[in-house]
Amino acid sequence: MYRRADGIVVAYDLQGRRLLHDLVDYSMYLIDKLHLNPETVYQRIVQIALFVEELILRNFEYWQISNAFIKDFRGRQMMAALGGASRGAPDALRRAEQTVNAILHPALTWLFWVSDRGSLLPNQIGPVECSITCTRTVLHNGRATISSPLLFPWKRPGGARVGKTPSDIQLDIAREFLIESAESEYCKQRNLLILESALESGLRADSLASLRCAQFNALRIECAVSDTYPVVPDRQKFSYQTEYLIPLSLAANITNFICGARAVFVDQLNLSEVKTADGVFLSEKTGKPIKARTLTTIMSRAMRHAGLLPGSGAHALRRRFADDKIVEEICYRIENSMDTSSQSIAFALMQELGHTTTDSLFKYVSSNSARLHREAKSRQ
């Protein structure tokens, strides 16, 4: 298995001397349709390849995959992850379960893609009365999140959490939590959009809570020639009036939410314009604009469920946004033989990240320099 310059992963079955077309095609799908970075795509294909290898070794066809097969595979991976550690050791068991989930989660997501291509039997995979028990929910951005009893629970005993920045898999788990814990369709769509908005714009919780419908003009978005859309949140840190350029696709998703789920919610509760105050994200209890504290609580629960440290709410998503931007900037500078010092990177990105000086951003880039540079080099 190797990764081409364009990010496509080429996978072979050495024993059968054949190209694994489904893995190659899936890597193309992840890059072209979901726009994942090449390193993420490669890691996912490596994880899925373990599952495919089990199919090849046992001479199984797709139509033979069932809960029993997956549980057997899960057991083998669990033994490999534990190594010589005892199953009675809580820390070792927890780490092993996380390792197995990191393999099973991409594999189950891939099986849905295989099913969409017609390579599984009708109703072979689904939430009820299927050979493979798994639920898929397609998000507004086209990506999908899954939940399945075949996965180990993501809650950790004793409240132990690790990490401050969510990984791709942790983000998927957070999305699943928001879907499963939502009390209504409106809450589900609102909370998912809040997560994606924080992740794609880097806005702080108070700024997200202050967004107004009037700031999103459907005609301007439709006729836009740029791939970004300007927004000035009413509430910003230190009362700044910074203009943020958010992705045009995010602005379109917010507009669709305003005209769709939000409009239905307003009609159902017969809410007045005075009560809603034109807020984009409304409280399901009062109909008023959601408070920043409530928004933070919702995101904190999702982040903790995904395994992050306590207090990792909407700011964890802003941290992930910042990390991605910094890594992209480092990659660009390495490719063009430019200065990669923390000071120059902080200066280049301070406006995009909502800072008026480089002070706090410089401290963040400096303290995380080694990690961010390692990630940038892995994408080269």
Give residue 68's pLDDT band: very low, low, confident or very high (50, 70, 90): very high
pLDDT in tens, 209-242: 999 999 999 999 999 999 999 999 999 987 888 8
Chain segment 22-59, per-residue pLDDT in tens:
888 898 888 888 777 787 888 888 899 999 999 999 99
Please give the pLDDT value at position 172: 82
Report how far residue 43's alpha carbon sits from residue 267's, in angstroms, rounded to the nearest whole number: 45
What global pTM score does this model have?
A: 0.61
Question: CA 250 to CA 67: how far, in whole Å?
Answer: 37
Burial 1-36 (b: 16+ CB within 10 A, else e): eebeeebbbebeeeeeeeebebbbebbebbbeeeeb
Share of the chain above pLDDT 90, in %: 43
pLDDT of residue 171: 86
How much is the pLDDT for 162?
A: 44
Name the strand (E) or helix (H) holding 3.
strand 2-3
Strands (DSSP E) found in 192-327:
228-231, 244-247
Q: What is the mean pLDDT of the chain?
A: 85
Q: 158 pLDDT band (50/70/90 cuts)?
A: very low
Q: Please determine, for residue 157, whether its predicted confidence score (pLDDT) is greater than 50.
A: no
Say how many residues make up the chain. 380
Position 159 scores a pLDDT of: 39
pLDDT of residue 124: 95
Q: pLDDT value at position 369?
A: 72
Helix orientation angle between 168-181 and 292-305, rounded to the nearest 10 degrees: 120
pLDDT tens profile 250-299: 999 999 999 999 999 999 999 999 999 999 999 999 999 999 999 999 99
CATH architecture designation of domain 178-315: Orthogonal Bundle (1.10)
Are the CB atoms for 232 and 339 separated by under 8 Å?
Answer: no
Higher pLDDT among residues 89 and 364, named by residue: 364
Q: Identify the residue with better confidence: 368 or 27.
A: 27
pLDDT higher at 283 or 379? 283
